[in-house]
Amino acid sequence: MSGVQAVIAYAVVAMAAAWIVWSMFVPGKLKARLRGRVRLKR
């Protein structure tokens, strides 16, 4: 049980870290380009 909790907790931490990096360190232009590509593939 505590193992499952730890996995979820660390996954949340990793997501938070990734999100901070994405939202604060990735330049806006690069973001727009990446988003554009994702949309094109769909």
Interface residues with another protein (CB under 8 A) are 1-2, 4-6, 8-10, 12-13, 16-17, 19-20, 23-24, 28-29, 32
Report which residue type is found at 42.
Answer: R
| Strand blocks (E) in 1-42 | none
How near is the Cβ of 10 to another protein at its closest, in Å?
8
42/31 Cα distance (integer angstroms): 17
Nearer to another protein, 10 or 37 (CB): 10
Contacts of 34 (CB under 8 A, 6+ apart): 26
How near is the Cβ of 4 to another protein at its closest, in Å?
8
